[in-house]
Structure 1
Amino acid sequence: MTPIDDDAPPLDPAESLALIERERANVGRDLSPDPRLMFWPWGIAWLVSFTLFFLRFGPDGRVFVDLPAWLPLATLAFLMISAGITTGVAGSRVSRRVMGPSNRQGAMYGISWSVAYTAFSVLFSQFSDVLPEEQAGLLWAGGMVALTGALYMAGAAVWNDRQMFVLGAWVSVINIVGILLGSGWHSLIVAVAGGGGMIAAGLIGWLRLR
């Protein structure tokens, strides 16, 4: 008589634990958004827009490329809005598969980003006209980067994500260093270390999921 599945010998404890771990990892991958979609849009936005800031508003007022003064800021705003939409769509696709507190947490966290960036934009717009172009650019750039670092660390606390916390702390530190050095150096540091750091974080997260 051919044995059926119920007649198969039970797995030993080590095999059972390995099977549970594999299934848990599979579920984690299915319920996690692609890190490349979560980090690369922001990394690309920072790399491109802050490079434009550096070229137009270099250290000590140096102009490497005579771009229109409004172009770096407009590029930053457009790319950051695009990045927010991209990550929002990527996160919503995963949240549809999850019900309960985790889904609500993700929704509230996403709304927090939108509300915070809108509030900062309204606030900074009230002071941009009374500041020199260089200082206005530093206000917008430094404020938005500071907000991003804080929100990353807050999200890490919600989901107990060490990698996100490290990224948020890194962004915050380089932002402080850049602000203290001045607008030109701030743009270069954020473009290379900030944008590059986000691109690296997306790649590392993707490799870990694989």
Structure 2
Amino acid sequence: MDDDVPLGNPAESLALIERERANLERDITPDPRWMLWPWGIAWLVGFALFFLRYGPDGRVFVDLPDWLPLLVLMTLILAAGVTTGVMGARAGRQVSGPTSRQGLLYGVTWSAAITAFAVLFARISDVLPEPESGLLWAGGMVAVTGVLHMAGGALWNDRDLYFLGAWTLLADVVGILIGPGWHSLIVCVAGGGGMIVAGLIGWLRLR
């Protein structure tokens, strides 16, 4: 009978299992481009405007309104948050159990960390000169992003995400050491660009 025909040798069976596992991973993993590119674009555009308006040593490369860089950055970050939230929710509907809870708790951790640091920075930024106050906010929030990317990479054994977090932290520290103005440029190019590159690499690996 046909039912009695063997499936093949062990190597073929393992290859079939690996193909099905890869197909399942592609189905339940959000497209890395949609998860990282919105944030990368937000950092590229937002921090570029900060650099042009608030350059090193108070230099103004482009005489933009004072409020414009922050408004653009916050708007793009909000749009990125909505985009990644929708994509993550769609992927989460296909997963249940511990993995789903891990994703939910990880998302809550992001919100809690950003809120806590925002309260802290708002409390102490008024006693700092304006350039240092801006560096505190930008450097602190970029540091939170890098640390949480590394935590996510460790949680899901995702080396690309872990490396992205480490790269983001490195760019942040270098920018902080060089000083206000330059920090915006470094985060714009290395941070935002790093997210775009990481999204592309992740997408190519999924394919």
- Once the 2 structures are TM-superposed, how far is the Cα of residue 126 of structure 1 from its aligned partner? 2.7
Q: Which residue matches 2:161?
A: 164
Q: Distance in 2 between matches of 1:141 and 1:115?
A: 17
Amino acid at match of 1:177: V
Aligned partner of 2:174 in structure 1 is 177
Aligned partner of 1:71: which letter?
L
Match of 1:142 in 2: 139
Is structure 2 residue 71 aligned with structure 1 residue 74? yes
Deviation of the 1:73 alpha carbon: 2.2
CA distance in 1, matches of 2:102, 2:160: 18
Q: Which residue of 2 aligns with 1:57?
A: 54
Which structure 2 residues correspond to residues 114-129 of structure 1 after superposition, within 5 A?
A: 114-129=111-126
Q: Which segment drifts farther, 41-50 or 61-70? A: 61-70
Q: Which amino acid aligns with 2:106?
A: Y
Amino acid at match of 1:180: L
**How far apart are 1:44 and its partner, in Å?**
0.5
Paired residue for 2:5? 8
> How much is the aligned-residue C-alpha RMSD, in angstroms?
1.4
Asked if 1:31 is matched to 2:21, the reply is: no
SS, match of residue 29 in structure 2: coil
Q: Say which SS state the counterpart of residue 135 (structure 2) adopts.
A: helix
Matches of 2:115 and 2:122 in 1, distance apart? 11
Spell out, residue by residue over 1:75-100, the C-alpha distance to the aligned partner (whole angstroms, 9 max, x if none).
22222222122111111111111110
- The aligned amino acid for 1:131 is L
- Percent identity for Structure 1 against Structure 2: 69
Q: TM-score w.r.t. structure 2 length?
A: 0.95
CA distance in 2, matches of 1:151, 1:90: 19
Task: Determine if the alignment matches structure 1 residue 86 to structure 2 residue 94.
Answer: no
Give distance in 2, aligned partners of 1:41 and 1:195. 9
Superposition map of 1:181-200 within 5 A: 181-200=178-197
Q: CA deviation at 1:8?
A: 3.1
The aligned residue for residue 42 of structure 2 is 45
SS class of match (1:183): coil
Can you give the 5+ residue segments of structure 1 that lack an aligned partner in the other structure?
Answer: none
- Runs of 5+ unmatched residues, structure 2: none
1:86-117, Cα deviation, whole Å (9 max, x unpaired): 11111111111111000000000011111221
Separation of aligned partners in 1, 2:136 and 2:64: 19
